[in-house]
Chain A
Amino acid sequence: MSDSSSAYSLDQIERWMQSVITHPRGVHAGVNSSPSRQQIDVSTDQIDEVILPGPAQSPLERLAVYGNAYYARLLGVLRELFPALSHALGEDLFSAFAFDYLQRYPSQSYTLGRLADCFVRFLEETRPTAPPPEADAAGPMPVSWPDFIIDLARLEWTIDEVFDAPGVENEPLLDPSHLARIPAARWPEARLVPVVCLRLLSFKYPVNDYYTEFRQGKAPPLPEPRTTFAALLRRDYIVRRFELSAAQHELLSALVDGETLGNAVMRCARHDDDVERLSSQLQAWFRLWAAEGFFQSVHVSTDCSLEGEL
């Protein structure tokens, strides 16, 4: 794709320019880098063979407009995607993580909404150990500090995902009163169908509480490690968060896996030695979850199906 008036093909120019403006150490280093010179072999001293000077800018200064914008734009989007994590780490440290992420996982999507598709995976792979700004005053950071970062990133990314994922706003949901119509003897075989936007999460840190305090405008301190669980779903186009116990998380996970209620309760019981107490709580849990829109329908058997507006 070159012609007699062109020194370089369009493909060469585009690959060269992309390599230059996305170089982590700026366009000067970018022009002199090996990937760029494999496309167009010019040094910064020869740059005007490709880019002409402007009325008041050198060719490198002109390229730097794009180079600066590339990182400013994408770092800005990542800060918007992970506001609580950005707060927890401080802007500089968050930007350093995000900057490294963009090197390893540059965007391959037409939408900025997928820019952070691999951010949690990146944090899991790298387990960044850099301390937060307050670490000096707070003393040594716990060994599990990277888990806090990963947990908080996972919570925020799931919130973003649920916000625009398929939901059930225009579909009938299970009416809580319908649960009472199921004969007690049929409960073990019942299958509750969770809504498509339900997400279940487990954390090593209480990041849901941390996120709540952040949303309230507080400046939450770094929490102590504590295993926590949460459910996320979207109702009326707003993402809702629910703290869960370990038993609740196990029960809902089993239902998401398609287990019957009987089998789900059995799985749940492994997390709670007090079976009687568990049994007494189940009815209240299901009433609450049904009222909050956790379930689309309940199926008891082929001859007894209760869905939506029955």
Chain B
Amino acid sequence: MTSRLGYENLGLGVGLRTVHFSHILEHHPDVDWFEIISENFMDSHGRPRYVLQQIAERYRVVMHGVSLSIGSTDALDFEYLGKLKRLADSVDACWISDHVCWTGVAGRNSHDLLPIPYSEATLRHLVERIRIVQDVLERPLVLENPSTYVTFRDSSMSEWEFIARMAAEADCGLLLDVNNVYVSSVNHGFDPAEYIRAVPHERVVQFHLAGHTNLGTHLIDTHDGQVIDPVWELYRLAHQMTGGASTLLEWDARIPPFAEVHAEVQKARRFMGAASRVAGDEPSGEKASGPSDEPSAAREAPTPSVPQPLHYVTPDVQ
């Protein structure tokens, strides 16, 4: 396998969101690359697709999906995969990613990234499906660790062991969402630095960064604010251990002006040097036992707090 599956480090990118379309087309901000939500464009015959084509002519584009449902026991949707491939070809997508999750079963879609038990049987199921998807897409798939809020008794291994074995056996790439590692570490009570150290670094194609919400008893991956300091420190560790990879900021709720989103991802440059703390000394940050340890940058809980994804394109109408 080529290092990082042949996928290059694109630099610092921003998630493309509808509210920023006009700003981007008018000002052509100096962004290294954009990540799109695949499902928002694969059926579009209107403005979203028109804007995307213009952006793809100027910027490199990565496709990030929320409905592949690689962990579902429903049959793979080959019509969906066909559309995914056609969109990737039309915008010359650098790669295609989705999540280690399922979104629905029995023909339904919850539009949520639902957790799987980390067992041998689940591992075999995912590896087989990833191989099929990669054959259809004719490129290595890149899969992201989701934020999770439950632990199944049926799990027989840690999430990081599952993901490492999945990536090796299916020969796929990883999108390491550092904020998700942090959110899950608080929700499940594990050491996030151990997670970062354990994933196969040569397979990490991309990082995700985002804000989350502290509800006192648990964290929710809301993508509605700045990245908090403990997550930045985990990013520093991840960058150090992987040698760096394409890095993207997600901001999906209470979205500020583009310049603010762009400025947030550019903070990543500060954490690309040597680790400020010795490995093993990373801050544990927030605790599930209560909000008293909450870092200063963590947001108060909005009502309601909805874990991402929440993606819908509002029409322009006269």
Contact = CB atoms under 8 A, between A and B. Distances in A.
Interface in A264-299: none
A3 B110 contact: no
Interface stretch (A55-63, A119-127, A140-148, A172-180): A55-63
Given A15-B105, A66-B149, A110-B39, A73 B310 contact: yes
B313 A113 contact: yes
B111 A107 contact: yes
Interface in B90-147: 102-112, 114, 116-117, 119-122, 124-125
Interface of B: 39-40, 42-48, 50, 67, 69, 71-73, 77, 80, 102-112, 114, 116-117, 119-122, 124-125, 149-154, 156, 186-189, 216-218, 220, 287-290, 304, 306-307, 310-318
A61 B217 CA distance: 10
Given A72-B304, A111-B39, 4 more contacts: A51-B151, A54-B189, A69-B306, A163-B47
B306 to A, nearest CB: 5
Nearest to B65: A110
Nearest to A237: B47
A163 B317 contact: yes
A302 interface: no
A18 B304 contact: no
Given A55-B189, A56-B290, A110 B109 contact: yes
A9 interface: yes
Contacts of B216: 56
A50 B152 contact: yes
The 5 closest A-B pairs by CB, nearest first: A163-B315, A110-B67, A237-B47, A55-B288, A56-B288
A60 to B, nearest CB: 10
A6 B117 CA distance: 9
Nearest to B147: A65
B46 A14 contact: no
Contacts of A163: 46-47, 315-317
A241 B318 contact: yes
A50 B152 CA distance: 6
Contact of B73 (A14, A62, A73): A14
A54 B39 contact: no
Interface stretch (A74-82, A87-95, A199-207, A254-262): A74-82
Contact of B312 (A112, A167, A239): A112
A97 interface: no
Contacts of A21: 110, 114
Contacts of B73: 1, 10-11, 14
Contacts of B44: 164
28 contacts: A1-B121, A5-B156, A6-B121, A6-B154, A6-B156, A10-B71, A11-B73, A14-B72, A14-B73, A17-B114, A18-B104, A18-B110, A18-B114, A50-B154, A54-B189, A54-B217, A54-B218, A55-B187, A65-B218, A69-B307, A70-B110, A70-B112, A77-B310, A107-B111, A112-B311, A165-B45, A167-B46, A237-B50
A37 interface: no
B188 A54 contact: yes
Given A3-B121, A57-B217, A160 B315 contact: yes
A70 B109 CA distance: 10
A167 B50 CA distance: 11
A113 B37 CA distance: 13
B111 A52 contact: no
